[in-house]
Chains A and B, each alone.
Chain A
């Protein structure tokens, strides 16, 4: 089945810094989502982005389906951005990556 690799596995930032999280797929992707799991465990849907670029406030995401990767950008990070970011994608079968754990320090 499709393999999903997220990088980096861990990221520590100071408040105000920018970051880029990456999701690579081993096979073709025509559906892709990004989620945030906050420190209390709640999973929030951030983007549905099978291709192209979307922005929502300080967050934006870009998927290049032909090259089988997606990027999540976080600008001017805040402590509330801490948590784990997951991508989920694939074609017929969608698979979660193992996540990037982000810690934003004040």
Chain B
């Protein structure tokens, strides 16, 4: 089944403890992206990647890192999480360009930083 898999689905952590949210897609998509969703602010892009070893900042990149060493994986890294990073996170992928056919989201990761 074609899908984007995020892990974990839920995570509660403490301020400053490094964490990684994984994202993997099995559709051979070139484009991958991370979003955070907050009440009243909608979906905001954190980082995106047009292909392997190519990553770019989105609208709210501060406090986050990403890497794209393989086509299928695009992990989101929070080196020193803070409470303002408490949010619902989504990974997405598409065939190309970030707008084309097959734009697929993962199931989301609800992160709480205390």
Binding site for B on A (CB under 8 A): 31, 33, 35, 41-45, 48, 86, 88, 94, 96-99
Q: Is the CB of B105 within 8 A of A43?
A: yes
Q: Which of A31, A41, A44 contacts B99 (CB 8 A)?
A: A31
| Inter-chain contacts of B41 with A (CB < 8 A) | 98
Q: Is the CB of B102 within 8 A of A45?
A: yes
Closest 8 CB pairs of A and B: A31-B99, A43-B105, A96-B43, A98-B42, A45-B103, A41-B108, A96-B42, A48-B101
Query: Can you identify 12 A-B contacts, CB atoms within 8 angstroms?
Result: A33-B99, A41-B108, A42-B107, A44-B105, A48-B100, A48-B103, A88-B99, A94-B99, A96-B35, A96-B42, A98-B42, A99-B42
How far does the alpha carbon of A94 sit from the alpha carbon of B99 in the complex, in Å?
8
Q: Is the CB of A41 within 8 A of B42?
A: no
Q: Is the CB of B42 within 8 A of A42?
A: no
How many residues on the B side are at the interface (Cβ–Cβ under 8 A)? Answer: 20
| Inter-chain contacts of B92 with A (CB < 8 A) | 43
| Inter-chain contacts of B97 with A (CB < 8 A) | 31
Task: Say if the beta carbon of B47 comes within 8 Å of chain A.
Answer: no
| Inter-chain contacts of B35 with A (CB < 8 A) | 96
| Inter-chain contacts of B108 with A (CB < 8 A) | 41-43
Task: Say if the beta carbon of B104 comes within 8 Å of chain A.
Answer: yes
Query: Which B residue's beta carbon lies closest to that of A4?
Result: B42
Task: Say if the beta carbon of B90 comes within 8 Å of chain A.
Answer: yes
Between A42, A96, A99, the greatest number of chain B beta carbons within 10 A of the residue's beta carbon is seen for A96
How far does the alpha carbon of A33 sit from the alpha carbon of B31 in the complex, in Å?
16
How far does the alpha carbon of A42 sit from the alpha carbon of B17 in the complex, in Å?
28
How far does the alpha carbon of A94 sit from the alpha carbon of B107 in the complex, in Å?
21
Between B99, B101, B102, the greatest number of chain A beta carbons within 10 A of the residue's beta carbon is seen for B99
Interface residues of B in 73-114 (CB under 8 A from A): 88, 90, 92, 97-105, 107-108
Query: Which A residue's beta carbon lies closest to that of B97?
Result: A31
Q: Is the CB of B99 within 8 A of A45?
A: no
Within the complex, the shortest CB–CB distance from A57 to chain B, in Å, comes to 18
